[in-house]
Amino acid sequence: MQYRSPARTHAFYVIRTMPLASDDDDVVGKDGIRKGDRKLWVRGTLETEKGKVAVHAKGLFVVPRAYALRPLVQGV
C-alpha cells in the first residue's frame, strides 16, 4: 500500500479494483489447472468523493490447491 494523501476517518471513500493480467495466466501447472485460475493480482485505489487518490494498493490473491475450483458463472 502506498499512501498518497491522508485518509481521514468520518469521510466517504470510493474503492476501485481491477484485476491485472499476468504472463503466467495461461501456464498450466502439474495439476492440469491454469495458474491464472488459482492466482490473481489485483490493483486497487482508495479515492475521495471528488476522485483524489488517497491510497494505491496491489495484492496477490491465491486459492489453495486443497480447494476444488468450480467454473465461474457468466452473466450474473
**pLDDT above 70 (res 51):** yes
Domain assignment present for residue 67? The answer is: no
Number of domains in the chain: 1
Residues of the domain holding 11: 2-62
Domain assignment present for residue 72? The answer is: no
Per-residue pLDDT of 17-48, as tens digits, reads 999 887 777 777 777 777 677 788 899 999 99
Domain assignment present for residue 25? The answer is: yes
Instruction: Supply the pTM of this predicted model.
Output: 0.67
DSSP the chain: -EESS---SS--EEEEEEEE--GGGG-B-TTSSBGGGTEEEEEEEEEETT--EEEEEEEEEE--TTSPP-PPPTT-
